[in-house]
Structure 1
C-alpha cells in the first residue's frame, strides 16, 4: 500500500542573481555569485566579508584535495536562511562543495568570526542555486575539459539576472 505523499506547497518565483568580483584567497580563485529572494543584490558587503573569512578558514581542507585551485562561491539570501556554497573543481571533472547557513534575522552576526555555521547534513542546493551551478558545469566542460585553460574558465560569466 502506498502512503499518501504530502502536498508540495512551494511555488517557484524567479530570484535576482548577480555576479561580483572573483575572490582571490591564497592560491585559489573563486567566481562569486549573489542571489536574493528579496531582489536586493546591492547590500551584500557584510555578508560577503563573513563568507570570505569562512572560505579562508577551510582552505587547508581544500588544499588537501586533488584540486585545480579554482571554483565558485554562491551567497544566497533566501527566505529561510543565508547560504554560502563553496564549490571547487577536482581532477576527473568532479565538483566538490561545502555548505554553510546563517539565520536571516541576525544582522549583527556578520561582525563575528563564526558568522556562518557549517551544514553537515546531506544537502546540495536549492532550485535557484542549481542555475549557476549548471552554468559553471557547462563552463568547466567547454573550457578546461576541452583543452582550454583555467583562465578561459574564469572568463566565462553568467549573464542572466534572474534564476
Structure 2
C-alpha cells in the first residue's frame, strides 16, 4: 500500500457531519400483542422532542396487521418485531418478521413527521437507520437466545422472548 494514498474512499465531510449530529434516541417497549397470526413485539423509538402516541402505535399495529396478513406466503414462522420511529425528519414503521431458513423479512413504511395516515411503503432498498438497527440487533440476539437456543417447551421459550425487552437509550 502506498502511504500517500488515502486509506479509504469514504466521504469524510459527510461522515463527520453525521458524527456531529449523532445522538441518543429513546426506545420504549409497547407490548407484544398477537396480530394477524403473529406475536408482535412492539417498540417506540423517539427522536429528541418527538413522542410516539397511543394513536401512532395503534396505527402502526394496523399497518403491521395488513403486512403480516400475507406473511405466510413469505415463509413467516409467526414472530415479528414492530418499530414505530418518531424520527427527526419523518415517521417510520418497520415490520421485521422471522421467516424460514433463519432469515427475516423487512418492510419499511415512511411518511412526514406527525401524520401517521400518510405512511407509505419505503423505496426499494431502504434499510433501517442506526437507531432502528440497534433495536433489531437486540431483537436478533433475543430471538437466538430464547427461541433458537432456549431450553424448555416452546411456550416457555416464547414467554422468555416476549419478556426480553430493550428500554432506554440507543445510539
Structure 1 pair 91–7 and aligned structure 2 pair: CA distance change class (3 A) = same
- Structure 2 partner of 1:158: 166
SS in 1 for 2:41: strand
- Which structure 2 residue ranges, 5 or more long, are not aligned? 1-5, 152-156
C-alpha displacement of 1:21: 1.6
- Which structure 1 residue ranges, 5 or more long, are not aligned? none
1:26 to 2:36 alignment: yes
Q: 1:121 aligns with which of 115, 124, 147?
A: 124
Aligned pairs, how many?
Answer: 155
What are the Cα deviations for residues 126-163 of structure 1, in whole angstroms up to 9, with x where unaligned?
1111111111111111122214433332221114x111
CA contact (8 A) 2:90 2:112 kept: yes
CA contact (8 A) 1:70 1:89 kept: yes
CA distance, structure 2, for counterparts of residue 45 and residue 64 of structure 1: 30
1:71 to 2:80 alignment: yes
Higher relative helix content? 2
Aligned residue runs from structure 1 range 42-121, under 5 A: 43-104=52-113, 107=114, 109-110=115-116, 112=117, 115-121=118-124
- Structure 1 partner of 2:46: 36
CA contact (8 A) 2:77 2:99 kept: yes
Greater Rg, structure 1 or structure 2? 2
CA contact (8 A) 1:76 1:83 kept: yes
Structure 1 pair 45–91 and aligned structure 2 pair: CA distance change class (3 A) = same
Cα RMSD of the aligned pairs, angstroms, is: 2.2
SS in 2 for 1:92: coil
